[in-house]
Chains A and B, each alone.
Chain A
């Protein structure tokens, strides 16, 4: 009788403890991927690149994603890149030039339209596939978890990423991106949290180039619809330009 009472009491105490336990690094990474790169989506995105010489250039595009590894971005502005498209299929990436009517292969590490995001930052949001994560015990701030991500393969865009995710809702708030030599290459601030058809996520990322601090780029999500299921035929080279 006493033993069963003790067991009941222990269980009652244990359940809430488990319910409020810190999430694991893997769970946080899964959350990041779910928020930043939902399985399917159609988004309207605006990117402004601020260059060393003080000039800026704004790009408007729509991005379509299907599954883990199919992306297609279509540029509407500025006029110089109107009709240009970028396609990702697995590890392959192409840019379609409408004036040439042909696609040219790109690398993940290449700068996205000359800004401070690289192609992988925009078109390859799948950290679970590319990185192993661990929680840093002392995050340096009380309101967030700090994750340290290390590249699983040499194909990953960065050697190491430090990612801070808000404890309240597990939303990403800050990222630092490092090279193999340990230098911080870029730093991102995730802000303007909004709900897009039920998905709450950062509406804006400011990516600062830490090697050339006069350079930075911002990317804003004007709209995002995760209730889409685009046909696979939209993600083939032959469909670009159509």
Chain B
């Protein structure tokens, strides 16, 4: 049906060794790009999930101006726990959960020593719906409705205060009015997510307990919100902004934890650079192979021209040979890499440390369309383009000179 295509494939197979090396180089480039890429995408997903499903939620809502003074954990920018704001956010399409929180700073004491803390009060049911991974690094028991003064401390903080599960102490904080207040807590568990600051400073307590400590019954300073899917977060944030008006500010996880977004983007940049190097090396190999083929088959090209084959057909033939190499190499690399990736993913991924953390994450390699399509396209088109110069040289040969060559 396509004699020239059949001819191209036959030509490729004439020198099986060389074709094998070329196809191997292309396949290796595709394999490495997809393997490396899938793990970097998996690591990025894990880091984002850790933040979105374990710490801050997809987005957060505060009173206007909160972000400027966030470091002071202001209590005067508060709002009602079950008022209009919460109802409006819950009604926004795409919102799957809302957790009211009260964030404050204070001192935790064990009776003889004290240290500074940043604490978050939340309702356990709402919080764990918004943050299903909130307790992934928990040792002991979580904050729950069962123990009214049950607290979870960062691991280093609990160690510094010599606190163990079941023991307790006092948390002292300035109430919204400015007066100092203090309440006893019972340590339920510790969190060790590998983040040094969080391990040394953070405490989780029941919302009602925090409201009592701070003299703020029914009041909160923050809403953590979960959304149906990660891709639609910006749209949901925009809808919440419209629903709440100018008195409230809405920030997505990218604004709340810009370092995570930066790290993920940087990893993807490095991935792009490494993959480009793989592909460039493979393409240089293809150019070399094709130039060798043109050189070796100069007389053959002269013969084809002498019997009436047009220059365009010569170009087409060599381009098709490049395409054949690309097809076999890309297909082989794709098949092998997908087999490896799917096998690892089906076995629950690979345990590893996220950058800057000692906690163990399970990286599940993923091949999103945004990685797969450019890799296949770059490998295939790159290889075909690598055939352009050799095929152009072949087509420019003078038939008489070509026939005379050795």
Enumerate chain A interface residues (CB-CB to B < 8 A).
Answer: 52, 107-109, 118, 151, 154-159, 179-181, 183, 185, 209, 211-215
Complex formed: what's the CA distance from A118 to B107 in Å? 14
Given contacts A181-B182, A183-B183, A185-B182, contact A107 B111 (CB under 8 A): no
Assess whether B182 is in contact with A211, with CB atoms less than 8 Å apart.
yes
Complex formed: what's the CA distance from A211 to B182 in Å? 9
Interface residues of B in 128-179 (CB under 8 A from A): 170, 172, 174-175, 177-179
Assess whether B180 is in contact with A214, with CB atoms less than 8 Å apart.
no
A residues less than 8 Å from B111 (CB atoms): 211-213
Given contacts A109-B174, A211-B107, A212-B109, contact A151 B179 (CB under 8 A): yes
Assess whether B180 is in contact with A52, with CB atoms less than 8 Å apart.
no
- Which of B113, B174, B212 touches A52 (beta carbons < 8 Å)? B113
Given contacts A52-B112, A52-B114, A213-B111, contact A185 B178 (CB under 8 A): no
Enumerate chain B interface residues (CB-CB to A < 8 A).
Answer: 107, 109-115, 170, 172, 174-175, 177-184, 212-213, 215
| Distance to closest chain A CB from B112 (angstroms) | 5
Assess whether A180 is in contact with B172, with CB atoms less than 8 Å apart.
no
Given contacts A107-B174, A183-B170, A185-B172, contact A214 B113 (CB under 8 A): yes
Assess whether B180 is in contact with A157, with CB atoms less than 8 Å apart.
yes
A residues less than 8 Å from B174 (CB atoms): 107, 109
Complex formed: what's the CA distance from A109 to B75 in Å? 14
Complex formed: what's the CA distance from A179 to B184 in Å? 12
Q: Name which residue of chain A comes closest to B171, CB basis.
A: A211
| Distance to closest chain B CB from A211 (angstroms) | 4
- Which of B112, B181, B182, B212 touches A214 (beta carbons < 8 Å)? B112
Which of A158, A179, A185 has the most chain B CB atoms closer than 10 A to its own CB? A179
Extra contacts, 9 of them, besides A179-B181, A209-B109 (Cβ < 8 A), are A52-B113, A154-B179, A158-B180, A159-B179, A179-B172, A179-B179, A211-B109, A211-B182, A212-B112
Assess whether B179 is in contact with A211, with CB atoms less than 8 Å apart.
no
Complex formed: what's the CA distance from A155 to B110 in Å? 28
Complex formed: what's the CA distance from A214 to B162 in Å? 14
Complex formed: what's the CA distance from A157 to B178 in Å? 7
> Which 10 A-B pairs rank lowest in CB-CB distance, beginning with the nearest?
A154-B177, A212-B114, A211-B109, A52-B113, A212-B109, A183-B182, A179-B181, A214-B112, A179-B182, A109-B174
Given contacts A211-B107, A212-B114, contact A157 B182 (CB under 8 A): no
- Which of B115, B178, B183 touches A108 (beta carbons < 8 Å)? B178
Complex formed: what's the CA distance from A52 to B170 in Å? 15
Complex formed: what's the CA distance from A183 to B109 in Å? 13
Q: Name which residue of chain B comes closest to A154, CB basis.
A: B177
B residues less than 8 Å from A209 (CB atoms): 109, 114
Q: Name which residue of chain A comes closest to B178, CB basis.
A: A109
| Distance to closest chain A CB from B208 (angstroms) | 14
Complex formed: what's the CA distance from A173 to B266 in Å? 64
Assess whether A212 is in contact with B179, with CB atoms less than 8 Å apart.
no
Complex formed: what's the CA distance from A224 to B111 in Å? 36
Assess whether A181 is in contact with B213, with CB atoms less than 8 Å apart.
yes
What are 19 A-B contacts defined by CB distance under 8 Å? A52-B112, A52-B113, A108-B178, A151-B179, A154-B177, A154-B178, A179-B179, A181-B181, A181-B182, A181-B213, A183-B170, A185-B172, A185-B182, A209-B109, A209-B114, A211-B172, A212-B107, A212-B112, A215-B114
A residues less than 8 Å from B115 (CB atoms): 52
Complex formed: what's the CA distance from A32 to B215 in Å? 30
Q: Name which residue of chain B comes closest to A118, CB basis.
A: B180
Complex formed: what's the CA distance from A201 to B289 in Å? 100
| Distance to closest chain A CB from B166 (angstroms) | 20
B residues less than 8 Å from A107 (CB atoms): 174, 178
- Which of A108, A180, A212, A215 touches B175 (beta carbons < 8 Å)? A180
B residues less than 8 Å from A155 (CB atoms): 177-178
- Which of A109, A212, A213, A215 touches B180 (beta carbons < 8 Å)? A109
Assess whether A185 is in contact with B180, with CB atoms less than 8 Å apart.
yes
Given contacts A211-B107, A212-B111, contact A158 B179 (CB under 8 A): yes
Complex formed: what's the CA distance from A118 to B180 in Å? 10
A residues less than 8 Å from B179 (CB atoms): 109, 151, 154, 156-159, 179-180
A residues less than 8 Å from B213 (CB atoms): 181
Complex formed: what's the CA distance from A212 to B115 in Å? 9
Q: Name which residue of chain A comes closest to B110, CB basis.
A: A212
| Distance to closest chain B CB from A111 (angstroms) | 9
B residues less than 8 Å from A185 (CB atoms): 172, 180, 182
Complex formed: what's the CA distance from A211 to B161 in Å? 12
